[in-house]
Amino acid sequence: MPEVEIRPIQKSDLPGLFTIELGCASPRVWQMDRVASDGALGATFREVRLPREARLNYPRSHQQIFAELDDPQQIILEALIDGQPVGFARLSTRVSPLTAWVKDLAVREKYRGKGIGTALLLAGLEWSMQQNLRRTVIEIQSKNYPAILLARKLGFEFSGFNDQFYTNQDIALFFTRSLK
């Protein structure tokens, strides 16, 4: 595979970034079960294998992702191969103090499973450390099993969820990795 270059996006790359498919196929999901007994409330998640791969729609559009390119509290990193954009990651420091929040991560379908997402997240972790942040959080739809595997592979730990977080009412799972 050719060498991958990771850099902050340039406005001239937007047309190519807009052609990256945002959805994915998922063979498994994390299903949430609510538990209530004797005055205690809780939730458990279990990995469920689907009878067939499900197509997952992404919770944001390209327009929403790239709407605030000049926001000083975010960075959008892109992965390029031979000068062509093959993926991107958007990180924001707006969500919580001393934390980089990975809001979006997408890789062109034909490059998935080849380390592009890993390279983007590692570059995001490096950027977070350069900003003297304490942690990085990645938000993931509970149905996006490939992204859950990626986060766990890179040392992110499950740290919470928000039911009906996205406009499509999907559950957001949060995975955190300490930086210091």
State the burial class of residue 35 (Cβ atoms within 10 Å of its Cβ: 0-12, 13-18, 19+). Answer: exposed
CA distance 66 to 179: 26
Structural domain includes residue 59? yes
**CATH code of the domain containing 65:** 3.40.630.30
Domains: count for the chain: 1
**Is the confidence at residue 74, as pLDDT, over 80?**
yes
Residue 128 lies in a domain: yes
Average pLDDT rounded to a whole number, residues 86-93: 97
**What predicted TM-score, i.e. pTM, was given to this entire model?**
0.91
User: What percent of the chain has pLDDT above 70?
Assistant: 99
Instruction: Kindly state whether residue 17 falls inside one of the protein's structural domains.
Output: yes
Asked whether residue 146 is assigned to any structural domain, the reply reads no
Closest to 64 measured CA to CA, from 101, 22, 113, 29: 22
pLDDT digits (tens, 9 = 90+) for 17-73: 999 999 999 989 888 888 888 888 888 888 889 999 889 889 999 999 999 888 999
Confidence of residue 176 (pLDDT cuts 50, 70, 90): very high
Give residue 115's domain range: 4-24+55-139
* pLDDT of res. 33: 86
Establish how many alpha carbons lie within 13 A of residue 147's alpha carbon, considering only the half-sphere containing its beta carbon.
29
Cβ neighbours around 65 below 10 Å, total: 20
Q: Among residues of the chain, what percentage have pLDDT more than 90?
A: 72
Q: Establish if 177 belongs to a structural domain.
A: no
Rounded CA gap, 81 and 76, in Å? 17
Angle formed by the axes of helices 116-130 and 145-153, nearest 10°:
50
Residue 94 resides in a domain: yes
Residue 142 predicted with pLDDT over 70: yes
pLDDT band for 111, please (50, 70, 90 cuts).
Answer: very high
Residue 175 placed within a domain: no
Q: So what's the pLDDT on residue 79?
A: 97
pLDDT-derived band at 1, boundaries 50, 70, 90: low
Strands (E), 38-156: 40-56, 74-81, 84-92, 99-107, 135-141
Distance CA 51, CA 56 (A): 15
d(CA 133, CA 73): 12
Q: Is residue 172 assigned to a domain?
A: no
